[in-house]
Chains A and B, each alone.
Chain A
Amino acid sequence: MDEQTACFTGREIHSAPALSRTSFLKIRYLDSPLMVDTEYIRHLTDSHKQTDGLEVQLRRATDHAYALAHMTPVIHNGDLIAGNKTRFIRGAIPYVNYAASPFLKEMRKEEQDAQSKHSEQGMGGGIGKTISEAEQNGLRLISGKFLISKDDYEGFKDVCGYWEDKCFMEQGDRLWKNHFGKADFIVNGWEIGLYTAPHEPCPEGRLILDYETALEKGYEQIIRETEDKINAFIPENMNGASSLFFWKAAVIVLKGASGFTSNYAAEAEKLAGKENDPARKAELEQMAETCRQVPLKPPRNFREAIQAFWFTYLLGHIEGSHLGFSPGRLDMLLWPYFNHDPDITVEKAIPLFEELFVKMTQIEYIASLSWQGLGHGNLYQNLILGGVDEKGEPVNNPVSMAILQAQINMQMTQPTLSVWWDEKLDPEFLMKAAECVKTGVGYPAFFNQATYVAHELETSGLPVEIIRKHSAIGGCTEPTLQGMSHGIVQAGFINHGKLIDLVLNEGLDPLTGIRMFEAGNPQTFEEVRSYYLKMMRETVRNWQQYWNYVMIAHRNTVPLIFCSVFVKDCLGGGKGMDDGGAALNQSVTTLSSGMVNVANSLAVIKKMCFDDNVCTLDELFHAVSQNWKGYESLRKKALNVPHWGNDYDFADDMFLGLFDEYCTWVKGQNNYLGLPYDPSMLAISTPVPFGKVCNAFPDGRLKGEPLADGVSSPFPGSDICGPTAVIRSSSKIDHRKIRGGLLNLKFHPSALKGENGSKNLLALIKTYFEKPGFHVQFNVVDSRMLKDAQLNPQNYRDLVVRVAGFSAYWVEMSKALQDQVIERTEHSL
């Protein structure tokens, strides 16, 4: 194998940072340990101790504003863009106001997070460094991979203790555990892996703020307008009173934010005063000047526009414990500033984006171990390029090209790039996007804007112009309306694979012995299917209702104020997002993964037990319960039954039927804002931990193996008819019915070689989207190369691989996830 791995086909596109400055920024990032910074949460806590008795929105705004204004402004060497989430290069804020118990458990040396067994984290790269550094410097290790200084640690313990009974998670638990009749089902569901772990530690995300307004008006004008509303306010009903609180909270939080950015102006000025190098001095003076202008006033040029965007983005990010908080359509946002700035060129813009992307990657998050494992430390910051504007005209412009080039050069894991595909996009732009794919970095992912517009027209009833203009991707693959959508969404997943275990065992989980349902032993194919559907429906409904309870607690402990200011039309309506103030509230989804395995299992059951009479249902169930041991020949027959993803109607229809049932059922339940839940099927890295807790399946999958990926990716290894058959199968799904879905294809570099390779790739995308598909993304790697990377991680420190909705550093991925990526059938010679 060594000989083979030594001669792999290399990737076609290699590139390097545009400047030695940005190269330095990248290397510094790669060499930095992961740190926990408790500064924000300490200030927030200090304030919270003083604000008891304030109305909840005012209290939240006051505490957050206080913390913002007291955070240390840190300007690192070489930075031109000001503003960091923590004082460290790679730092995370521990949001114990959201969930204190995961930290307390660890600190009290209680048993490891009960759910950590469902997940596994990588230990290479910066993470490996973290651990060795901890030992050397007497720092403490926390949450598996973060460092914290001894002093911080002691103070942090007190902060955690303070929040133990006040935090959002605890408040939520008290509510649903006492009032929700199905509370036991949820708790047991966690225990057996039917659901992902409690996700109160990171409930928010897939949110994109209204950066357009933030830049156009500037905070000062927004504050003035809001104060006008407050002054004109006349109390006429109870809801109106709540508006008053929201507006006041908005002003408080914007003023705190202004303090945060002004501190940066002062710090830059101070550093400039001390600086001896004239070039750096000039840079710092310009930074100070910029921070005095934005975000308080509108940007006057492209540089200021980037800084204004970054401040608002960062401030939104600091407020909540987000996953999937995204920049959205940055090329569309920045184009007017680029266009009207006589001094800016694509060449000058590229290093600015390179720096911006390092800054995005430097944001880390720390939550419960299980969520860190699931998200693989990824923040899912999605930047989407291209697409069409409100009139349906293509948006690609020189900023789009600069952003693509910056990520081709840097290959940072954040932000993950996406392209809204449209027929009318400039071929030069699409070829550049294909070039980026060929670096092997795993992005951009391609999304079909027309499919989403159709979904949103039906769901929201908003005018098509608005949907076109605002459509973006929040998080890994979920489309949403930029600056208009409710962004406190349910991040947890349902494990369809576990339902197979339960159907096969009369409602009892075979691995833990926990009973979830009272069910009989199915005798016919129809019974198997209807048992599954019944269990699926109850599982979905309980999950949705549990989350509706949790959201009541969110509203009463950590309502989003700053973020609401920048979501239309919270300010106009005088209601924060938690109260349903967003223009689009139907963006709350119910996520699940593993349905492909259910469809494949049903196909096997029907064909082997009823159509061809190869064995009885009892025999099949018994073989599965034995993990197929002693039933190898039966397993071979099961694997030979056509599976989903090969364009065989038999298996594909099985999937489509289930898919319809799922969508209909999800939409039949209301979210906490009184609107139907929206179905969605992402995967992030759930296939690995979900597969780990499942017994063998009738489709031939063995116990513990990962599940199939996303809504329409075939089970690894079962897509034997090539990528076009996968696409033909996947396009049988009506993607307009769901908010987000995902199709991964992996290509050997040789399949994409040269200009023709790029053109063929684009033709493949076009063909899929004409059908119409919704999303496709590509891994351009050589599996031998990946095997080599497993053996010699030190040589692959900055290798980035597409996993599901995101890219991750190879060395920081778990072995199981690496194996899965290797196994995804290589669609090439």
Chain B
Amino acid sequence: MKGTIINIQHYAVQDGPGIRTLVFFKGCPLKCAWCCNPESQSPGSQLRYISYRCKQCMECVSACTNSGVSSEEGHMSHSFELCNECNSKICIDKCNYDAVALTGKDISSEELLASIAADISFYRNSGGGVTFSGGEPFAQHEFLVEMLQKCKALDIHTAIETCGWASEKALRKAIPYTDLFLFDLKIADPDLHLEFTRKPVGPILANLELLSSEKADIIIRFPVIAGITDSTKNLEGIAAIMYSNNLKQINLMPFHSLGTDKYEEHGMKYTLDQIKEFDPGQITAIRDFFLKQDFICEIS
């Protein structure tokens, strides 16, 4: 079977134990307002234009037969909707400066497995393995389960980083082959969750309950976003969810606003005006909040 991924990262050390290979799946059902990997949202491959590399040589303009790209002062201007549908994407070939590229590629499960398995000795010596991330791995659940099975057959430690949006059936299929779930919890309040992620929180919590009742290993990942997720009310809500599911560990993911270039490069719009930069003291305060309630809490 084939899946669509954005890339494979070797020697990843912050998404599960040990030295890991991180596979970014493409496609995500949620649309979090703060997302710093916007290119992982849509399931298909997308054109990317990296303006600082562009020398405005016009090669792409003369090669394109669809009028997908034109020149504006200082940079090129793309009709991204047209480009993402374009089959030839001849401009990528023609650009000598890697200023246009494709985000997302199809890969067979065999090829992906070979890339993961190449680092088996690193996993063995470090207690590491593979982490399927994204995007949302469950958005390609058949491919995901096939990969999990293949990795387990080689005795590779498997982790899934998920936003929790999955069908119960898919989840149940994945559980036996998954050593660790890195489960994102963002906003406990249903209305705010819907507002900021465009999806209700209910099904996500149901999935979390299912995982915990099946005794899966779970670490909660909590994005700390100033002004959105860091309210006392939300922290208490998250802690309550952890209690009720008998969860032990929550890792904080301090949010950075470095991803905004990627919106522009993919012809997407960043909707949050301004994310406040938090100070490090605030992060430690949040960690202390969780530590006080006897959770294990690390800052990633």
Contacts and interface: CB of A to CB of B under 8 A. Distances in A.
Contacts of A675: none
A59 B96 CA distance: 66
Nearest to B55: A632
Contact of B13 (A647, A721, A756): A756
A721 B8 CA distance: 9
Interface in B117-148: 118-119, 121-122, 124-128
Interface in B97-123: 97-98, 118-119, 121-122
B70 to A, nearest CB: 21
B19 interface: yes
A764 B10 contact: no
Nearest to B17: A756
Interface in B13-53: 13-14, 17-19, 21
B20 to A, nearest CB: 9
Interface in A634-670: 635-636, 647
B94 interface: yes
B9 interface: yes
B11 interface: yes
Contacts of B97: 632
A724 B96 contact: no
Nearest to B125: A763
B118 A725 contact: yes
A776 to B, nearest CB: 13
Contacts of A259: none
B53 to A, nearest CB: 12
A752 B126 CA distance: 13
Nearest to A728: B118
B96 A636 contact: yes
Contacts of B13: 751-752, 756-757, 760
Contacts, number: 64
A764 B118 contact: no
Contacts of B18: 759-760, 763
B126 A635 contact: no
A635 B11 contact: no
B11 A723 contact: yes
Given A632-B96, A633-B96, A647-B118, A764 B9 contact: no
A343 to B, nearest CB: 41
A724 B125 contact: no
B125 A766 contact: yes
Contact of B11 (A632, A636, A764): A764
Interface in A739-787: 750-753, 756-757, 759-760, 763-764, 766-767, 770-771
B123 to A, nearest CB: 9
A827 interface: yes
Q: Which of A635, A757, A764 has the most CB of B within 10 A?
A: A764
Interface in B123-181: 124-128
Given A759-B126, A763-B125, A724 B118 contact: yes
Q: Which of A723, A724, A725 has the most CB of B within 10 A?
A: A724
B19 A763 contact: yes
B18 to A, nearest CB: 6
A724 B11 contact: yes
B145 to A, nearest CB: 26
B10 A635 contact: no
A766 B14 CA distance: 20
A766 B126 CA distance: 9
Nearest to B124: A767
A724 B10 contact: yes
A276 to B, nearest CB: 50
B15 to A, nearest CB: 10
A700 to B, nearest CB: 11
A311 to B, nearest CB: 43
Given A721-B10, A723-B11, A766-B125, 11 more contacts: A632-B96, A724-B119, A728-B119, A750-B14, A751-B13, A760-B19, A760-B128, A763-B127, A764-B19, A764-B125, A770-B121
11 contacts: A722-B9, A723-B11, A725-B10, A728-B119, A759-B18, A763-B18, A763-B122, A764-B122, A770-B121, A770-B125, A829-B9
8 closest A-B pairs by beta carbon, nearest first, are A763-B126, A722-B10, A632-B96, A763-B125, A724-B10, A636-B96, A723-B11, A767-B125
Interface of A: 632-633, 635-636, 647, 721-725, 728, 750-753, 756-757, 759-760, 763-764, 766-767, 770-771, 827, 829
